[in-house]
Chains A and B, each alone.
Chain A
Amino acid sequence: MELTASIARSAVFAPLADRGRAEVVTARLEEAIVLGILQPGERLPSEARLAERLGVATVTVREALADLRDRSLLTTQRGRGGGSFVTVDEAARAAAVAERIRALSAADAADLGTYFLAIVGTSARIAAEDASPSDLESLSLDLARASFGNEFSARRSLGGFHVAVVALSRSTRLVREQVRLQHADGPMLWASLQDPGEREAAAAAAQRLVDAIAAGDGDLAYREAETAVARAVRWLLAERRRLEAR
């Protein structure tokens, strides 16, 4: 008991992550570029705007952009219509994603799935037990407007759909956590969406989840979330093995 207490106490005073702020900004933007959240040719907001959005000093943003420029992920054009543009090409991007999948451990892949299910599965169960007709209408409309035609639109659509399901738990904390998960780990967890067959399966699974919520079946809703994420994890593991064998 005393030991537990002292471990808990020392955790309170453990050092905080002390990576430089510019490094954190660089990592955030690099991740977004490599994983295609920011797409080739896209113009980033101005330095001042980025600083405001990210809650850091302008000089920090400038330092991060310079670093990304040095690594050819961005180019900067001056003058009218200028700014920082994403320049990484599709081949380089695909190679970087493959590298990340190869570096993923089996334990990490399983953990991503469990983390996701803890939030989305629980929310789906609450939604099935508690959703009102207007909630169901909004959720169905959201999915009807979703597009799984390409990797980027599918990731955005599926992400939006999952946040909408979690919002039906009516827990602000779960919604924030899900958004955080999707920003940090979503592109890796749902890397399977680069495969057209997986996109089709994800769209069908989302529809089955809506049906289970509409049917008021909490257990089924949880299982649908579980089946969908298990498939994504299996794809990651298989892809990792395939890349390893090359």
Chain B
Amino acid sequence: MRNFQPKVPLLLILIFVSMSISPQDGATQTLSISALVAEPAGSVTRLVSFAEEHGGYFLTTTFQRVILRLPMAEIASFRTFLEEEALEILNYQQISRDVTQEKAEALAALSARREILERNLEFLDRADVNGTLAIEREVTYLLNEIEAISGRILTYDVDTKYALVTVQLAFQGTTLPPSGGSSFGWINTVDPYSFIGGSY
């Protein structure tokens, strides 16, 4: 029962869906950025604010990392903002992927399963006890598949509408050179760590 044969209407739907989604609409953008900043915590806050002010949102923020969703149209302005925010952009990688075909296939699969589901439900009234149980099993299986495919289509929609931006923020010199390099004695006594952590 699970091995169904594609029918002519199904092929037509597939062709129609393929034509209706242009490659541009079906492209996802993934940005992986590493930037050197003066204060990561402040930069994380400002990056999140930028995303929210420009129609996006954040997925995760940690002390030195932020993952954002940004509308496709805001990628260029985000780059400009980042160049102002960062002392240096260490890495900027933008990967584009066309998911038009995958989405079209998912839509076709969804349509086919819905059709089979309807047919199964039509059989339900005429089936005996054993047949009813078999149909119920099949219906459960189809519903699970429909749910999974619908979720995938939803993800495609989000991915094609919003770019996924991961920004890794770094400090200059994670291991600081030792103090004591100045030729002037008193300058070597200016030590922020001793001052912050020490006594009075």
A and B: bona fide binding partners: no
